A and B are shown apart, each in its own frame.
Chain A
Amino acid sequence: MRLFWHELKGELLLYVRSRELAFFTFLLPMIFFVLLGSTYGDDTVDGVKGSKFLLAGMIGYGAISIAFAGLAIVLVIRRESGILKRLRATPLPAGAYVAAVLGAFLTAFAVEVLGLIVLGRVLFDIPFPDRIGSLLLALLLGALAFCGLGIGVTALIKSAEGASAVVNAIYLPAAFIAGAFFSPRHFPSVLRALADVLPLTYFLRLIRNVMLHGHVIWSQGTNVAVVAAWGLLGVIIALRAFRWEPHEG
């Protein structure tokens, strides 16, 4: 436990020091929120105010950016540079390390969500959410599921150079297709069919139902199940194929 807290402090420092993480996974969702919010924030989207719809979308985008993209890129770079290998030579247990890394990324996501909610309040007059319990559970579920997928996807990436390319090629289109930026209602049917299998689609539905329509998480069985199943798939891949050592040569 002492090692977990020690490593968590280190991981948070590393997170704050990393400009790439700070910009691409942390600031970008807020920037998109401000930009898109000022274009269609006052329109009505899928029966709710555009800025509210977008706030939920940006929380989903933040989750996939931080927990999936950011985590995967950081882990691949650490693996390929040999940092993970070096850590294995120390008494730091693998479990404490992974828990601390997840802790740091979950913390970053929590700050991101708070930031978005405050931005929404200040810029677009969006009231603070009620149903706090359901929202917290939904956010935790989504963040953990995307962390699972983030760790799982590292098994598919062989080099540090490939990390950003592969991860961006997955999560940016996914965020768009799942409807983080715009309502997917008027998307062509091919995209909607694709959206029907993406975990982010279900996470966004879950967040929107809880945040915008006042549903409790217990009523969201399908959405919860699909998000959890994807997360589990990531964890299973990670357990089978995660490696600590760089690919030689």
Chain B
Amino acid sequence: MSAIAVRDLRKSYGSVEAVRGIAFHVERGEVFGLLGPNGAGKTTTVEILEGYRKRDGGVVEVLGVDPANARGEWREQIGVVLQSSAMYDTLTVTEMLRLFAGYYREPRPVDEVVELAGLQEKRDERVRRLSGGQRRRLDLALALIGDPELIFLDEPTTGFDPRARRNAWETIRSLRGLGKTILLTTHYLDEAEQLADRVAVLAQGRIVASGTPAELTGAVPATEIRYRENGREIVLETDEPTRVLHDLTTRALAESRELEGLQVRRPSLEEVYLSLTEEESE
């Protein structure tokens, strides 16, 4: 059974269709990335899966349960990291974790979670005095304290500096090592590429592409060959770069001509992503 199964999910706010009939599934133990620009419908989708929002249509199952009818037992199994890292500023890190541990029947030991989140040195610090990155790690720790099966991470590194992002990525990878299923939303492509086993690209409430990061890049077949001739830029797109390049260089050599500014490249995932999400918004 999949950890998450979504079919034809729809949700509108007034006349705005935020999610327009999307489908995807997440297997147990998998890290799945929902990738898309702001306003694509990522948070709406995740909040429906978390049980915060009612859907207008479609079928949703999370750990075998429809989140719209979820009970406490189901909540024991999921961990949620929201975009805002809300916590009690006056408590210490361990006090905060102990408070939340008490909400679950079989919590993970506080010390273990402190270590997992890399907060050993801050364990007795008041939450108020934590840096942004440390707060975010405590966020993650709070989502882990119930020892959930499935973890939702809504834009876990938005606003981080590059170093803090690397650290957060390490932590998320270690979760995966624990066998947790993770649904991650992000608008950073490299984050999806680094962390996710599979990715769905969301734009304007629709899934415009999905697959492994490698498949997504592979989905655009053409290799691009660029050079300048008489001051004009020539761009050739081809699925047979070897032959085309050979023809091109043979001809140039025969004519004792240099191919000015010659470039051979494959589009990066970033370009695939931009072209996918741009087409959709036109």
Contacts and interface: CB of A to CB of B under 8 A. Distances in A.
Contacts of B102: 3, 6-7, 10
Interface string A54-81: 0000000000000000000000001001
Contact of A89 (B50, B91, B95): B50
Contact of B103 (A82, A85, A92): A92
Tell me the dominant secondary structure on chain B's binding face.
loop
B99 to A, nearest CB: 4
Q: Which of A10, A13, A18, A245 has the most CB of B within 10 A?
A: A10
B91 A91 contact: no
Nearest to B143: A89
B103 A81 contact: no
Given A14-B91, A17-B90, A90-B104, 17 more contacts: A3-B103, A6-B99, A14-B90, A82-B82, A82-B84, A85-B86, A86-B80, A89-B50, A90-B75, A90-B100, A90-B103, A91-B73, A91-B75, A91-B105, A91-B146, A92-B103, A93-B72
Interface string A1-39: 001001100100110011000000000000000000000
What are the 7 closest A-B residue pairs judged by CB atoms, nearest first? A82-B86, A17-B90, A89-B80, A6-B102, A91-B72, A82-B84, A91-B75
B76 interface: yes
B160 interface: no
Contact of A245 (B52, B76, B91): B52
B100 A81 contact: no
Interface string B130-173: 00000000000010001000000000000000000000000000
Contacts of B84: 81-82, 246
Given A17-B90, A93-B72, A88 B104 contact: no
Contacts of A165: none
Q: Which of A18, A92, A246 has the most CB of B within 10 A?
A: A92
Contacts of B80: 86, 89
B89 to A, nearest CB: 9
Given A13-B91, A17-B91, A93-B72, A85 B100 contact: no
A15 B162 CA distance: 38
B78 interface: yes
Interface residues of B, number: 26
Tell me the dominant secondary structure on chain A's binding face.
helix
Contacts of B86: 78, 81-83, 85-86
Interface in B85-139: 85-88, 90-91, 95, 99-100, 102-105
B82 A85 contact: yes
A103 to B, nearest CB: 15
Nearest to A93: B72
Contact of B99 (A10, A88, A89): A10
B88 A83 contact: yes
B156 to A, nearest CB: 15
Interface residues of A, number: 22
Contact of B82 (A3, A13, A17, A86): A86
Contacts of B51: 89
Nearest to A96: B103
Given A89-B75, A89-B78, A93-B72, A13 B95 contact: yes
B52 A91 contact: no
Contacts of A17: 90-91
11 contacts: A3-B102, A6-B102, A85-B82, A86-B80, A86-B86, A86-B142, A91-B73, A91-B76, A91-B103, A91-B105, A91-B146
B96 to A, nearest CB: 9
Given A89-B78, A90-B146, A18 B90 contact: yes
Contacts of A245: 52
Given A6-B102, A82-B86, A88 B91 contact: no
A85 B87 contact: no
Contacts of B146: 90-91
A17 B78 CA distance: 30
B279 to A, nearest CB: 28
A7 B99 CA distance: 7
A60 B116 CA distance: 49
A10 B92 CA distance: 12
B66 to A, nearest CB: 16
A92 B90 CA distance: 21
A79 B60 CA distance: 27
Nearest to B126: A17
A18 B72 CA distance: 30
A140 to B, nearest CB: 27
A134 to B, nearest CB: 37
